[in-house]
Homo-oligomer: A and B are copies of this chain.
Amino acid sequence: MKRFNDLTDFSTQEIKSLLKLASRLEQKPEPRALEGKVLSLLFLSPSLRTLASFQAAMSKLGGSSFVISPDMSIHGLETRPGIVMDGEAAEHIREAVPVIASYGDAIGIRAFAERKNLEQDLADREFESLASLANVPLINMESAIQHPCQSLADWKTMDDLKIPSNGGRFVLSWAYHPKALPLAVPSSTVRMAAQRGMDVVVLRPPGFELPSKIMQDAKRLATENGGNVSETDNRHEAMEGANVIYAKSWSSTSHYGDRLGDQALRENLLDWCVDEPWFDNSREDCRFMHCLPVRRGVVVADRILDGPRSVVIQEANNRMKAQMAVLHRMLKG
């Protein structure tokens, strides 16, 4: 494996094999598997789970890692191409990325969406230009449109909880948040659930439709794997018989990159905070999923997060376990 960027680059069989490897490593640790191997971790955007879980994953396999991020005392990183660097930044990403990559056996890169131009973010232009500078195997640690490690962990979490794939109903729901957030998680999640063969419903208010390219990909994956994908703004309809509600806030797509337009849509949607009444017609054991970090009392009520429906800590823990499988496959000779 040279590139772990988009979960849908892998066949359903390949994903199941990765998940089997994750479970095997969970049962039978291999504390010397990656002896002498180094993972370079480049964070151009904030992180907590990813920062911690990649370091822990390498350590548990006997390898190690180092972290570079612009909040360290480095020299300031310029990203714009062709610029005359007479300002603050003393180093260009065109040198920094290949150098950092060259110290490791693989590199993980995180760079969130700029959220100015939807086409550009859908094409993952910034991430791809960073990735093209690295000459070693690459892991996407969240880009404008991908978050494959989260999706692999979420798939594993549903397997662990015996949530049915074919026939299981998965509601991906928009939720309120004071800021316009990137599309990476919902885009990855809808496709993951579709590829798992689930009955997927995207529940979102008008103006927050997922990009049609993403929905088309999800529908194709669903068809190939015995599931289906629909979308609605009707909560009651969406939640009917749901096994899972996966909450996430994201930017308006009708007003993408338009801060005021997004805000105007968003400010009437404070009731999109997942709470017990949402589960009126779901399955009784319907689970609550979220990638974290989550704003309590804003995205979801405390009683849901602290109650038996919530599996957010298991999801976060499975980040480490899923990543161990990816690293093992990528780096074990």
Asked if B71 and A102 make an inter-chain contact with CB atoms under 8 angstroms apart, the answer reads no
In A83-101, which residues have CB < 8 Å from any B CB? 83-86, 90-92, 94-96, 98-100
Q: Does A302 contact B (CB under 8 A)?
A: yes
Asked if B52 and A293 make an inter-chain contact with CB atoms under 8 angstroms apart, the answer reads no
Asked if B74 and A296 make an inter-chain contact with CB atoms under 8 angstroms apart, the answer reads no
Please measure, in the bound complex, the distance between the C-alpha atom of A79 and the C-alpha atom of B26, giving whole angstroms: 32
Q: Does A38 contact B (CB under 8 A)?
A: yes
In A46-62, which residues have CB < 8 Å from any B CB? 46-49, 51-53, 55-56, 59-60, 62
CB < 8 Å neighbour of A38 from B46, B59, B96, B293: B59
Asked if B103 and A320 make an inter-chain contact with CB atoms under 8 angstroms apart, the answer reads yes
CB < 8 Å neighbour of A40 from B52, B90, B295: B52
Q: Does A68 contact B (CB under 8 A)?
A: yes
Task: Tell me how far the C-beta of A271 lies from the nearest C-beta in chain B, rounded to whole angstroms.
Answer: 13
Q: Does A10 contact B (CB under 8 A)?
A: no
Asked if B52 and A66 make an inter-chain contact with CB atoms under 8 angstroms apart, the answer reads yes
Chain A residues within CB distance 8 Å of chain B: 29, 31-32, 35-36, 38, 40, 43, 45-49, 51-53, 55-56, 59-60, 62-64, 66, 68-75, 78, 82-86, 90-92, 94-96, 98-100, 102-104, 178, 292-298, 302, 305-306, 312-313, 316-317, 320
Task: Tell me how far the C-beta of A264 lies from the nearest C-beta in chain B, rounded to whole angstroms.
Answer: 17
Please measure, in the bound complex, the distance between the C-alpha atom of A82 and the C-alpha atom of B297, giving whole angstroms: 8
Please measure, in the bound complex, the distance between the C-alpha atom of A45 and the C-alpha atom of B73, giving whole angstroms: 8
Please measure, in the bound complex, the distance between the C-alpha atom of A78 and the C-alpha atom of B71, giving whole angstroms: 20
Please measure, in the bound complex, the distance between the C-alpha atom of A31 and the C-alpha atom of B64, giving whole angstroms: 11
Of A31, A48, A68, A306, most buried by chain B (CB within 10 Å of CB) is A48
Asked if B73 and A43 make an inter-chain contact with CB atoms under 8 angstroms apart, the answer reads yes
Asked if B98 and A313 make an inter-chain contact with CB atoms under 8 angstroms apart, the answer reads yes
Please measure, in the bound complex, the distance between the C-alpha atom of A92 and the C-alpha atom of B320, giving whole angstroms: 20
CB < 8 Å neighbour of A48 from B29, B68, B296, B306: B68
Asked if B47 and A92 make an inter-chain contact with CB atoms under 8 angstroms apart, the answer reads no
Asked if A297 and B47 make an inter-chain contact with CB atoms under 8 angstroms apart, the answer reads no
Asked if B86 and A73 make an inter-chain contact with CB atoms under 8 angstroms apart, the answer reads no
CB-defined A-B contacts under 8 Å, sample of 5: A36-B59, A56-B66, A85-B297, A90-B295, A98-B313
Given contacts A36-B60, A85-B298, A91-B292, 16 further A-B contacts (CB under 8 A): A31-B35, A38-B60, A45-B73, A47-B73, A51-B74, A52-B68, A55-B66, A70-B73, A71-B72, A75-B293, A84-B297, A84-B298, A85-B297, A86-B295, A91-B293, A92-B296
